[in-house]
Structure 1
Amino acid sequence: MITEQQEKTALAPHGFDLSVTSGLQRYSAQHGELTLTSVFQPVFSLSHMRAIGYEGLLRAHDALDRPVSPIDVFGEAARVGEVLQVDRLAQGLHLENFSLLGAEREWLFLNVHPGTLIEPYHAAALLANLNRLGLPPRRIVLEVLEADATDLDALAHAVDAFRERGFLIALDDFGAGHVDIGRVWQLNPDIVKLDRIMLMHAAHRADMAATLPALVSLLHEAGKLVLIEGVETEQEAQLALSCNADFVQGFFFARPAPGLADSSHAQVIIAEATDRFREQTEARERGTASRLAPYIRAFERAAERLGAGETLEEVCWNFLALDHAARCFLLDANGRQAGRNVVLRVDRAEQGARFLPLDDAQGANWLRRPYFRAALVAPGRVHVTSPYLSINEALPCVTLSMAVQVGDRLCVLCGDVDWLAELLA
């Protein structure tokens, strides 16, 4: 627990030097032979099309004015046991320089070592700095990245205490190393930052590109805002848009700089990327509708014949004769499958043999499936699901469904289409 006296006394004289470069005032500090200062990388809201925050980043130069990587600065500090002191120095610099920017409502994203949050003296120094500069905690997003030796219970307790004071909490580098979904539950952040490595994988692998929106959706359902960092290319910007991320940062939108972002330039960049996303989405939807059209026509005809009294096996042949049609099946009004799957293609046998325990679906209950519920809501209309993983073969598919009156019973006719094959067609 941080006492009032600790908060008043923990801030040591900072010894920062104020200089003016290109008309911009900013503080620097000496650490051994290194000169340290701050730059700020904007964090943009894709919906607001403007910067809603700035991440403070350390910049270091040696005695000959050669740049030194921040990784090397903190690496050397860790080697000599001074990592918390350097972390505190960097925080102080970022706070001082942020106070000079003139940002009126934007957040400061501040990287903090777990020890800064856990140890009362260092936490008090952070609070004292804010108090002296007149920055309320609600303006600060503490970016937390667990260290190898972090006591997670102690860190979670400290994070709760800072949140109660009004700070926002971000979990940094999600998806890199061992920072996983379990940390989201333990630390309960307000914002989750997806590491650039996830974007890089998604840019080169279709399965990862399809997974990223689901991950963002999962985090949203858990009550977390999502920030994708390291966006450097047009393709990566489109991925961020397509997965419904809330915030982005990266060279594509703006590079780190000593001052505020050029708001007009940022708005143009985001607006142009959004327009391209809309065009690509509309083109993809037209292509999807075109590919599905023959399946829908065949499926409508099958439903019509089923309602007229023909058997399931008789009505499905035209649908199943299409290249990527997988199976037909019939559900009762409670979602229970009547009879086995109707399958035409013999080339499915080898794949199906690997999932033989799932082959007989007679009596299976598909009540939970969206295609069943959608069909009942609007009978007589073909409904098409979004692509999902079929339980039959663990392959992507879409399901067509329609509620049909068969005699005195309401049934739901269903047909699966292999979607990965459709996408590659």
Structure 2
Amino acid sequence: TRTLHLLNAGGCLPQEASIFVNFDPSVFTDRAIVDKALRDMRLVLHEAGIDPRRIVCEVTEQKSASQETLYSFVEALRANGFRIAVDDYGADESDINRIKELRPDIVKFDANWITQLMESGAGFALLTTMVTSFESQGIRTVFEGIEEGWQLELAEKSGASMVQGYVLARPELASTSLRVFGKSVQAPAAGEGKTIAAASPAPVASARPTKAFGRKVTP
């Protein structure tokens, strides 16, 4: 699935687009497995014409054999020129420690946690403070699970770098012309079904009748 995702990205996406790829740390506990996976990935990137610096490796929540093994795996990803993202951040103590130890380039905030915080002024203030703290450390932020226009407006107000969710687009097969990606060439079906976009001017209708705000990006 990683190979298909990367080949599709190489054929579909503009050169400036980042490509997010999931990695389950519990799978990569043996150095031989890590080396083979990364070797195969480098070959696919070369074939697809993708600069490794466009790759963002999402480290998921699954447990690794040990913290040392996890850190070694993340450093191997970095050594290949990939960026690191911590997925499903929720401000638990374990999540905070994970940020300190892994020093990621990007933090993806858990969708359920974001939804809860956005429901109150105090929660939104905490969310904004955390985004500001990460940005001051050079860590970009992604809000996951953004499905309504009012959530998109709050994400923008908080200073989040990027958003991901149905308010932007839903998973679908790639168009045969691929005009949606800014190209008009033939390519296979789209990859992992995620849309992650940075804010860019264009109106989105609010789900709440008293508001009309936010920005929408077509990848």
The TM-score by the shorter chain falls in which range? 0.7 to 0.9
Provide the residue aligned with 1:106 in structure 2.
17
TM-score by length of 1: 0.40
Structure 2 portions without partners, runs of 5+: 183-196, 206-210, 215-219
Taking the aligned partners of 1:220 and 1:248, their CA distance within structure 2 comes to: 15
Work out which of the residue numbers 68, 71, 84 in structure 2 matches 1:156: 71
Structure-2 change in CA distance of 1:177 and 1:212 (3 Å):
closer
Deviation, 1:213, is: 0.1
Provide the residue aligned with 2:168 in structure 1.
253
Taking the aligned partners of 2:96 and 2:143, their CA distance within structure 1 comes to: 16
Percent identity for Structure 1 against Structure 2: 31
Provide the residue aligned with 1:204 in structure 2.
119
Matched pairs, number? 188
Provide the residue aligned with 1:231 in structure 2.
146
Taking the aligned partners of 1:262 and 1:221, their CA distance within structure 2 comes to: 34
Taking the aligned partners of 2:160 and 2:123, their CA distance within structure 1 comes to: 15
Provide the residue aligned with 2:131 in structure 1.
216
Residue type at the aligned position of 2:119: H
Taking the aligned partners of 1:188 and 1:110, their CA distance within structure 2 comes to: 18
Q: Tell me which protein shows more strand as a share of its residues.
A: 1
CA contact under 8 A between 1:234 and 1:252: conserved in structure 2?
yes
Deviation, 1:261, is: 8.2
Superposition CA RMSD, Å: 3.1
Work out which of the residue numbers 52, 58, 61 in structure 2 matches 1:143: 58
Structure-2 change in CA distance of 1:189 and 1:268 (3 Å):
closer
Structure-2 change in CA distance of 1:195 and 1:255 (3 Å):
same
TM-score by length of 2: 0.73
Structure 1 portions without partners, runs of 5+: 1-89, 279-425
Q: How does 1:19-418 map to 2 (within 5 A)?
A: 90-114=1-25, 115-116=27-28, 119-175=34-90, 180-259=95-174, 262=180, 270-273=201-204, 276=212
Taking the aligned partners of 1:129 and 1:207, their CA distance within structure 2 comes to: 46
* Partner deviation per Cα, 1:53-84 (whole Å, 9 max, x = no partner): xxxxxxxxxxxxxxxxxxxxxxxxxxxxxxxx
* Partner deviation per Cα, 1:122-176 (whole Å, 9 max, x = no partner): 2222222223333221121111114124422222222223223221111111118
Structure-2 change in CA distance of 1:268 and 1:164 (3 Å):
closer
Taking the aligned partners of 2:42 and 2:181, their CA distance within structure 1 comes to: 30
Structure with larger Rg: 1
Taking the aligned partners of 1:147 and 1:273, their CA distance within structure 2 comes to: 35
Taking the aligned partners of 1:152 and 1:267, their CA distance within structure 2 comes to: 32
CA contact under 8 A between 2:150 and 2:212: conserved in structure 1?
no
